[in-house]
Amino acid sequence: MNGEDARATCMLAVERLTVAYGRTVAVQGIDLRVEVGQVVCLIGANGAGKTTLMRALSGLLRPEAGHIRLEGADITGQPPHRIAALGMRHVPEGRQIFAGLTVAENLALGAWLEDESAEIARRLEQVLALFPRLRERLAQMAGSMSGGEQQMLALGRALMGAPRLLLLDEPSMGLAPLFVEEIFGIIEELKREGRTILLVEQNASAALEVADYAYVLETGRIVLQGPAVQVAQDPAVLAAYLGG
Ligand SMILES: Nc1ncnc2c1ncn2[C@@H]1O[C@H](COP(=O)(O)OP(=O)(O)O)[C@@H](O)[C@H]1O
Ligand SMILES: [Mg+2]
């Protein structure tokens, strides 16, 4: 494959990325790729460095070393608004919706880079078709909804930005089992639409089921990677993450 083709199919390329908090190195020289149209999952125990990596990708943390390329453009060290303008949207751990604003206001904020009101209306229809519950609650204060509904709102807000790459950090964390199922159903649907997603999850079995490709992160390093079906059968993964 020549360089131009590689750029056309590679959404995200992370090279030798290191991220630290002072002297605590949380991500140690990671290489990772997400191809266009793929769902890639990153699994790993609490404290492995998953959120740190996601925050570095979207520009919230400045890497110590390494490179991040989005569709071929080097975005290493760029501020979050610049990276967002290139099409990356990050649904953060813990959702981070605006509790004191309505559902409609939260969704509108997701389209802050778009001026065309017809385009914003089109995206809103798409999001509400995906999350009918949000349609019923457009005028409701976001903070008064359940955790699962707030996660849907966080996802919907990111989709309002018409992302080229969606980063999802623990979307099922802390949710009741029925909502966990619903959230993974939504991720399946986004995959069918051909969206490109980097998914971080502690729910390894559900993540490996939806993903095309998987990485396993342990104390800041990638210790295993491969097609998700293969990673799901790896004896070490079965023992450590799948209760096997
Ligand atoms: N703001 C911070 N300051 C210092 N250390 C942090 C901070 N956030 C996370 N860490 C440390 O970085 C490591 C990775 O954390 P994190 O990326 O949140 O892991 P994960 O998302 O996989 O649970 C952990 O050792 C954690 O204690
Ligand atoms: Mg985390």
Asked if residue 71 and residue 180 are part of one domain, the reply reads yes
3-state secondary structure (DSSP) of residue 241: helix
Q: Which of 18, 23, 43, 52 to mutate to test the pocket of ligand 1 (most atoms within 8 A of CB)?
A: 52
Asked if residue 105 and residue 67 are part of one domain, the reply reads no
Q: Report CA dihedral (60, 193, 146, 80) to the nearest 10 degrees.
A: 10
CATH code, domain with 181: 3.40.50.300
Asked if residue 181 and residue 82 are part of one domain, the reply reads yes
Instruction: Note the pLDDT of residue 243.
Output: 77
Last residue of a domain, one of 105, 140, 163: 163
More confident residue, 162 or 7: 162
- Alpha-carbon distance of 69 to 33, in angstroms, equals 9
Asked if residue 108 and residue 63 are part of one domain, the reply reads no
Q: What is the tally of structural domains in the chain?
A: 2
Q: Which of 17, 18, 19, 21 to mutate to test the pocket of ligand 1 (most atoms within 8 A of CB)?
A: 21
Average pLDDT, the chain: 94
Ligand 1, atom 11, residue with closest C-alpha: 26
- Alpha-carbon distance of 89 to 83, in angstroms, equals 8
**pTM value > 0.85:** yes
- Alpha-carbon distance of 81 to 88, in angstroms, equals 10
Asked if residue 184 and residue 68 are part of one domain, the reply reads yes
* Chain segment 167-184, per-residue pLDDT in tens: 999 999 999 999 999 999
Asked if residue 74 and residue 42 are part of one domain, the reply reads yes
- Alpha-carbon distance of 226 to 58, in angstroms, equals 24
Asked if residue 235 and residue 148 are part of one domain, the reply reads no
Say how many Å lie between the CA of residue 179 and the centre of ligand 2: 19
Domain holding 1, by residue range, is 1-87+165-244
Asked if residue 235 and residue 209 are part of one domain, the reply reads yes
Instruction: Note the pLDDT of residue 3.
Output: 56
Last residue of a domain, one of 163, 178, 201: 163
**Is the model's pLDDT at 1 over the cut of 60?**
no
Ligand 1 within 6 A of CB of 52: yes
* Chain segment 126-159, per-residue pLDDT in tens: 999 999 999 999 999 999 999 999 999 999 999 9
Asked if residue 169 and residue 148 are part of one domain, the reply reads no
Instruction: Note the pLDDT of residue 7.
Output: 59
Confidence band for 44, pLDDT divided at 50, 70 and 90: very high
Ligand 1 within 6 A of CB of 191: no
From the CA of 169, the nearest ligand is 2
What average pLDDT does this structure show over 34-52? 96
Instruction: Note the pLDDT of residue 72.
Output: 93
Instruction: Note the pLDDT of residue 6.
Output: 60
From the CA of 93, the nearest ligand is 2
Asked if residue 220 and residue 129 are part of one domain, the reply reads no
Asked if residue 172 and residue 83 are part of one domain, the reply reads yes
Instruction: Note the pLDDT of residue 40.
Output: 98
Last residue of a domain, one of 111, 146, 163: 163
**Is the model's pLDDT at 119 over the cut of 80?**
yes
Asked if residue 151 and residue 181 are part of one domain, the reply reads no
- Alpha-carbon distance of 157 to 110, in angstroms, equals 5
